[in-house]
Chain A
Amino acid sequence: MTRIDKHPILEIPENRITVRFFFNDKEMTGYENEPVSSALIANGVQEFSIHKRGDTPQGLFCANGQCSHCTVIIDGFPLKSCITPLKADMKIRTLRHLPDLPADDQPLNHSHPKALSCDALIVGGGPSGLMAAIELAKLGFSVVLADDKAKLGGKLLLQTHKFFGSIDDCYAGTRGIDIAVKLENEVRKYSNIQIFTNTSVVGIFKDRKAGLFVDNRQYVIVGFQGLVVSPGAREKMLVFPGNSLPGVFGAGAFQTLVNRDLIRSSRRVFIVGSGNVGLIAAYHALQAGIDVTGICDILPKVSGYRVHADKIRRMGVPIYLDHTVVSAEGNGKVERVTIAEVNSAFQPIRETAKTFEVDTLLIAVGLTPVDDFYEMAKQFGFIVVSAGDANEIAEASSAMFGGKIAGLQMAALLGKETRIDPALTEKAEILKSKPGKIYTPKPVILDGKFRPIIRCDEEIPCNPCTSICPVHAIRLKKNLDSLLDIPEYTGGCTGCGMCVLICPGLAITLAKKRDDKCAEVVLPHEYLPDFKVGDRIPVTDQTGYYLEDAEVVNIRFNKKFKTHLITVLTTLQNGAAVAGIRVQKPAVTQPMPTASFTDSADDGIVCHCEMVTQKELVKYIRENRVRDVNQLKQARVGMGACGGKNCSVVLSRIFTAAGVDWKEVTPGRKRPLSVEVPMSVIINEKDGE
């Protein structure tokens, strides 16, 4: 029921083993070795624990092993369910307040330290870390690559969409999940790369060593000459009433549930944030059969690529600009979300509030680099480079380039004579570019031959349409003379549809005049068609405006691109305008007849580990004249399991709310461990058994 059993892009594995387990004595089933959290959510469980402060229910939050909200009692032990694999007959219970420590009084009879050393330790096996590993291995360095997930590839593993960029440089037009496989295969060719998966680097120490928490059972101390920091980014959070309710996730957690674990975690979501992450989350939700009620952004303009936003709007998702989230409410879980328009000071105008009935609120308000180890290593005087999002938040395409450059830089720092091709650096910079100028497209008059209509009017670093066209009928305009230039059709189309298939923005259609009344339009469709030839389906213009119900005349599926090409017959006048198929019914996106919200504006949770509210914290800052983030530890902020990972990204706003200039505030000091490690693991007590 809440499992995804069909998906337009992802394959549903067939060989999974179903096991029985118990949650609060109730029998449930799940798949062996899937995260316990996913098994619980698939069985409809949202409340994982009850926090001791205010008996607050907590659910899955990061799905990333970083916080501890998903802790449940498994066979007597408090464990993070998102990183604990499900086994048959597990007895799982809700964690209520603090757990009891199991009375295991067996004397210690085995322990031994595990250590190894390498030239370069790479923290994080996403696109940048993998590329850095390949470069260093090629040059003969011994590399230890540590990644906290079961599979290499980082966030690529969650990306079912085709990538921007260029085909030659960074697999543009290929889906993230497929790029991950290519990179992993490459990395595994090198015997001088030692790979640790399911491994968190939990500390960088002054004696030029790192502590690795391996597979929940080993602690390995790794000595290194140089450090490549490529752990990616952390999602920014928002503070609003109800922000700790089960059902409020980061977009990353949502993608993990839906695209990695194939859980239909929600019935209906609302998304805050119109950057590429929020837009893509909407696309992922729709592919998984989850309704998307809307996306809001506090800014007056979409933050992500315009082609992404247009695509999402065409699918039938409204984007509310100049709007912010006011509250999430519900009995123990999200049931309603209220948004409102903001004034020029970005404060919500309560009269404009709209309430939506949803069970999930996704937060996608941006990313912040995970640069803690980089900063620490710098301070210790180590040889260190950072790459990927840890260096600068950008698309995975640029992360691959950045990783390659970081690998070469590290090689140079370790004494190898290397030359970094300036063209490489230049491309990396271009791939990082924010969306640029928007151009007004020229009107298209259809004739009797197919031609592409390219709705890609904003400068973004992307050109696979120009590379794939077998007759070179599409090229980039020469305005900037770079990858950012916008593509144009120059004539000679054969109607093969390759450009329609490869475009990551789904921004290209083919169209021709069929007769005096009708046009024939070929549209890309990355969903399982719920229609057949002869049906009439709603089609929209570029930005999602409904045009007409068009008759389906052909449905083709391209295996390589896992994309359908749908040919429809439209009225001739709409032929050039038809840009996509609306996949979601308008009724889904309607707000409740009247807005309904109660909480005051300042009692959102800032510290989720210790449940400290904004109201409490602002009072504490004022009363104690706090000018140093470290002082907040007195109020428990930063003292929880996550070590300030979640609250650190919102503290600037809290200090501002308390009337303190953030520039005058001393930052908090980060200390190991970044993830909690059991004592038995630190001494490798169970190792070798």
Chain B
Amino acid sequence: MKKFDVVIIGAGSIGVPLSFYLANRGLKVAILEKLPSTGRGQNRAAIGGIRATFSDPAKIKICLQTIEIMKNMKVEHGLDVDWIQGGYLYPAYDEKTEIAFKQLLDFQKQYKLNNRWITPDEIDKLVPGINRENLRGGNFSEEDGSASPLKTTAAFSLLSHRRGTELFFDEEVRSMKIEKRKIVSVETSRDVYSADIFINASGADAKTIGALARADIPIYTDCHEAGVTEAVERFFEPMVVDIRPDGNSSNYYFYQNAEGQVVFCITPEPKIIGADIDNTSTFLPLVVKRMVQLYPRLRHLRVRRTWRGLYPMTPDGFPIVGFTKEVDNFFLTVGMCGQGYMIGPGLGKIVSEILVDKTNRHDEILTQLTLYRKFTGNEMLK
């Protein structure tokens, strides 16, 4: 049996940064991962967008924290994670969308988000050559940005390892030993691990892992495909999010990363529920047509690769964070609804403060994101 202060289940977008912030505060941390290396669940599938532009207080707070962390990564730790503060642009092509975005601006201001309405001419400066037919303007948040999910996870993994975190790969958690309302230990395919606190950061597997500790976590997964092009000189700045639905999809979004590649993703409609991560033939024709319609210049860009990942979804589209009631030492950081990568670093820092400092500073977040809420809300900017 191996003994730790904290055992994190899942070495992904959430677990790896969290392990660093806990280890950084002097805790002895282990991560148990069923896959062969870090980030091989859904982190590998994240396209890299990082924004605080949400329509709820918890995610706004968490992601503002993430942006702070990512901004300072190079200066503070000497690690380059390809952070680019290119902003997020939500163009509006009809009146209904324009009104909705403008209403959202008022809300966003309350939370100190620097979103603003920009004109078609301003949009054309950020995204030269964008289709201006019926373009009414857009909601632009210049402090949002992007970074490399692969490099971010590698960086946190390295930092965490340097502070003593032990990572165990190819080890699937099979059972938990519970005595007197406490998880005493977890058993993997190789060993047994005991700890004071166990954290469920297992992404798409969160429901199964939760059940081991008697928690009923309402998570299901749906499948999303993404792609990346060849690299070219930088030609546009922001992440462009088109929220207009068409017959087969709802929103899609794309940006140009530090390598010069355009990375893109689409939300199929109806949703494809399940855990299939194999590519389909329908994705590229669907997303490419929409992208070239919006931004004709992309037509000459060559698509290099596509992949598919899962969104661990909750019924209301918001994450689940906090201790469960069934046992005393089981903490959830699950149900990231496809935003785990941008939530991970900020949430890691916040959870470390909750667990180490026992602060009540973050109670608002915990209240909003508790497992025991009604799950009736709805996230507008999915």
Contact = CB atoms under 8 A, between A and B. Distances in A.
Contact of B281 (A97, A105, A207, A636): A207
Interface string B126-152: 001101010000000000000010110
Contacts of B44: 630, 633
Given A101-B301, A677-B303, A211 B296 contact: no
B112 interface: no
A682 B285 CA distance: 6
A106 B133 CA distance: 12
A108 B235 contact: no
Given A99-B232, A100-B233, A679-B292, A221 B301 contact: no
A638 to B, nearest CB: 10
A676 B235 contact: no
Interface in B291-330: 291-293, 296-307
Given A105-B129, A627-B169, A682-B303, A113 B285 contact: yes
Contacts of A422: none
A214 to B, nearest CB: 14
B74 to A, nearest CB: 16
A105 B130 CA distance: 8
A209 B301 contact: no
Nearest to B256: A101
Interface in A123-162: none
B157 interface: yes
A351 interface: no
Given A101-B232, A203-B279, A106 B296 contact: yes
B38 interface: yes
Contacts of A101: 232-233, 235, 297, 300-301
Given A101-B233, A103-B129, A107-B131, A680 B279 contact: no
A77 B260 CA distance: 16
A50 to B, nearest CB: 14
Given A104-B297, A680-B299, A682-B284, A634 B289 contact: no
Contacts of B259: 636, 639
A112 to B, nearest CB: 9
A680 B300 contact: yes
A377 B296 CA distance: 34
Contact of A673 (B154, B299, B305): B305
B288 interface: yes
Contacts of A205: 278-281
Given A676-B230, A683-B285, A631 B304 contact: no
Contacts of A219: 285
Contacts of B150: 633-634
A211 B37 CA distance: 31
A535 to B, nearest CB: 56
Given A211-B281, A641-B230, A676 B296 contact: no
B268 to A, nearest CB: 13
B281 A221 contact: yes
B333 to A, nearest CB: 23
A627 B37 contact: yes
A104 B133 CA distance: 16
A628 interface: yes
Given A205-B279, A678-B302, A100 B232 contact: yes
A639 B231 CA distance: 11
B292 A108 contact: yes
A628 B40 contact: yes
A104 B131 contact: no
A203 B355 CA distance: 47
A689 interface: no
Contacts of B360: none
A528 to B, nearest CB: 43
Contacts of B133: 107
B293 A676 contact: no
A200 B133 CA distance: 36
B36 A628 contact: yes
A676 B128 contact: no
B59 to A, nearest CB: 27
A673 B38 contact: no
A666 interface: yes
Contact of A679 (B151, B279, B298): B298
Interface in A79-108: 97-108
B303 A206 contact: no
B305 A671 contact: yes
A679 B291 contact: yes
A680 B292 contact: yes
Given A108-B296, A628-B40, A678-B299, A643 B305 contact: yes
A68 B300 CA distance: 16
Contacts of A111: 289, 292
Contact of B154 (A104, A108, A206, A631): A631
Interface string B56-100: 000000000000000000000000000000000000000000000
A219 to B, nearest CB: 7
Contact of B305 (A98, A672, A680): A672
A630 B43 CA distance: 12
A219 B299 CA distance: 14
A203 B278 CA distance: 11
B276 interface: yes
Contacts of A676: 229-230, 302-304
B103 interface: no
Interface in B156-189: 157-158, 161, 169
B376 interface: no
Contacts of B306: 203, 671-673
Nearest to A667: B36
Contacts of A458: none
B286 to A, nearest CB: 9
Nearest to B289: A683
A682 B300 CA distance: 11
B96 to A, nearest CB: 23
A388 B158 CA distance: 44
A630 B302 contact: no
A233 B22 CA distance: 49
B297 A380 contact: no
A46 B3 CA distance: 61
B110 interface: no
B299 A672 contact: no
Contacts of B161: 625
A634 B232 contact: no
Interface in A607-653: 623-628, 630-631, 633-634, 636, 639, 641, 643
A672 B307 CA distance: 8
Interface in B255-288: 259-260, 276, 278-282, 284-285, 288
A685 interface: yes
B300 A679 contact: yes
A571 to B, nearest CB: 65
Interface string B244-264: 000000000000000110000
A219 B292 CA distance: 16
A671 B299 contact: no
Nearest to A219: B285
Interface in A194-226: 203, 205-207, 209-211, 219, 221
Contact of A682 (B148, B153, B288): B288
Contacts of B292: 108, 111, 679-680, 683, 685
A210 to B, nearest CB: 8
A324 B307 CA distance: 40
Nearest to A680: B299
- Most A C-beta atoms less than 10 A away, residue of B40, B260, B278, B293: B278
A672 B226 CA distance: 11
18 contacts: A98-B233, A102-B300, A108-B299, A206-B280, A210-B281, A219-B285, A624-B157, A627-B36, A628-B36, A628-B169, A634-B154, A641-B230, A641-B304, A671-B307, A676-B304, A680-B299, A682-B284, A682-B285
**Nearest 6 A/B pairs, CB to CB:** A628-B37, A676-B302, A206-B278, A680-B299, A666-B36, A209-B281
Given A205-B278, A676-B302, 7 more contacts: A206-B278, A628-B36, A631-B38, A639-B259, A641-B230, A671-B307, A682-B285
